[in-house]
Amino acid sequence: MCEDIKPKEVFVEELFSSIAPRYDFLNSLLSFGIHKAWRAYAVKCCRLSSGDAALDVAAGTCDLAIRLSKSVGRDGRVVAVDFCRPMLKVGKKRIEKLNIKNVEVLFGNAKALPAEADTFQASITGFALRNVDDIPAALREMARVTVPGGRVVLLELAKPEGPVFGRLYNFYFERMLPVIGGAISRRFKPYKYLPASLKSFCSREEIAQMMIEAGLHDISIHNLTGGIAAVHVGVK
Ligand SMILES: C[S@@+](CC[C@H](N)C(=O)[O-])C[C@H]1O[C@@H](n2cnc3c(N)ncnc32)[C@H](O)[C@@H]1O
């Protein structure tokens, strides 16, 4: 089984509270905008149709929820859940600004989702699993609230494949990113935590095994941009 970094929920909540207003800007800057293509791909993997219900778990500033709202259309609905109020506040503002009416933003924990069983055609989480202190519990919850036949989609950073690209990426991710992110956000702790959280994160195969143990099947793994991100898809 993977090494679990077990960050305290208080630590994670405080960390994201401290960077919430700059989170979206820094995401785009530090990933050179690539995260947008990854998000689009992950949302496509949800295979949603007009009128469907979708869930964004650990939604943060609701970027994926906003994308899901387009997939499900006016007749569909999206629920976004997170336990960090400052992140949700930014998300709510974005939703209001875009005049989106089909996204409900809820305070809640990924380990005890505020939703009935068999509710959503797809449940997604983006860049959040590394921060959850009990990944199997979060996966069980995502599976529980998804309808039979529905999809659970996980978008996460991953360890790159290939020695040359891997070394270049590690140099950027471990040396440069903490300095740039820290200097711009004036918060060094979160951007030191980011590479550390990936280093101790589970492998693709371990995540896939946890999905099976959560009751999902037909697991597929999709590597993105040389494997620096990956999407896992499972069917309930
Ligand atoms: C890196 S951000 C990702 C935000 C968003 N999903 C995105 O795609 O940008 C991680 C988020 O996970 C949330 N989070 C971590 N553990 C959580 C938990 N157990 N329950 C709810 N939210 C959690 C944090 O509050 C934070 O907003």
Give the CATH number of the domain where residue 62 resides.
3.40.50.150
In this structure, of 16-25, 123-132, 167-176, the range with the lowest mean pLDDT score is: 167-176
The pLDDT of residue 1 is above 50: no
The pLDDT of residue 15 is above 60: yes
Give Cα 161 distance to the centre of its chain.
21
Q: What is the mean pLDDT of residues 97-107?
A: 97
The response to whether residue 82 sits with its C-beta less than 6 Å from ligand 1 reads yes
Q: Is residue 143 part of a domain?
A: yes
Digit-coded pLDDT (tens) for 133-186: 899 999 999 999 999 999 999 999 988 877 777 777 777 767 777 777 777 777
Percentage of the chain beyond pLDDT 70 is: 95
Contacts of 39 (CB under 8 A, 6+ apart): 63, 64, 67, 126, 155
pLDDT of residue 6: 46
Q: Give the helix ranges, DSSP H, for the chain.
A: 9-19, 23-30, 34-45, 63-72, 85-97, 135-145, 163-171, 177-185, 188-199, 204-213
Q: Residue 7 — very low, low, confident or very high, per pLDDT cuts 50/70/90?
A: low
- Gyration radius from the chain CA atoms: 17
Mean pLDDT across the chain, nearest whole number?
A: 90
Q: Is residue 94 part of a domain?
A: yes
The response to whether residue 83 sits with its C-beta less than 6 Å from ligand 1 reads yes
The pLDDT of residue 53 is above 60: yes
The response to whether residue 84 sits with its C-beta less than 6 Å from ligand 1 reads yes
Q: Is residue 206 part of a domain?
A: yes
Number of domains, the chain: 1
Closest CA to 190 of 201, 199, 182, 198: 182
The pLDDT of residue 93 is above 90: yes
The pLDDT of residue 22 is above 80: yes
Q: Determine the atom of ligand 1 nearest the C-alpha atom of 133.
A: 19
Which residue bears the tokens 């202190």? 133
Closest CA to 86 of 24, 182, 14: 14
Q: Is residue 184 part of a domain?
A: no
Task: Say how many Å lie between the CA of residue 204 and the centre of ligand 1.
Answer: 19
Q: Determine the atom of ligand 1 nearest the C-alpha atom of 62.
A: 5
Q: Are 45 and 68 in contact (CB under 8 A)?
A: no
Task: Say how many Å lie between the CA of residue 60 and the centre of ligand 1.
Answer: 5
The response to whether residue 24 sits with its C-beta less than 6 Å from ligand 1 reads no
For 208, list phi and psi in degrees, rounded to 5: -60, -40
The response to whether residue 89 sits with its C-beta less than 6 Å from ligand 1 reads no
pLDDT of residue 122: 98
pLDDT of residue 110: 97
> Could you tell which of 18, 23, 132 is best to mutate to test the pocket of ligand 1, judged by most ligand atoms within 8 Å of the CB?
132
Residues 232 and 126: their CA atoms lie apart, in Å, by: 11
Q: Are 91 and 24 in contact (CB under 8 A)?
A: no
CB count in 10 Å sphere of residue 105: 18
Q: Is residue 165 part of a domain?
A: no
Percentage of the chain beyond pLDDT 90 is: 67
Burial of 121 (0-12, 13-18, 19+ CB in 10 A): buried
The response to whether residue 94 sits with its C-beta less than 6 Å from ligand 1 reads no
The response to whether residue 58 sits with its C-beta less than 6 Å from ligand 1 reads yes
Provide the residue range defining the domain that includes 90.
9-160+201-235
Q: Is residue 175 part of a domain?
A: no
CA angle 58, 108, 67 (to 5 degrees): 40
In this structure, of 18-22, 87-91, 140-144, 169-173, the range with the lowest mean pLDDT score is: 169-173
The response to whether residue 109 sits with its C-beta less than 6 Å from ligand 1 reads yes
Q: What is the mean pLDDT of residues 54-73?
A: 98
Q: Is residue 181 part of a domain?
A: no
Q: Is residue 176 part of a domain?
A: no
pLDDT of residue 234: 98
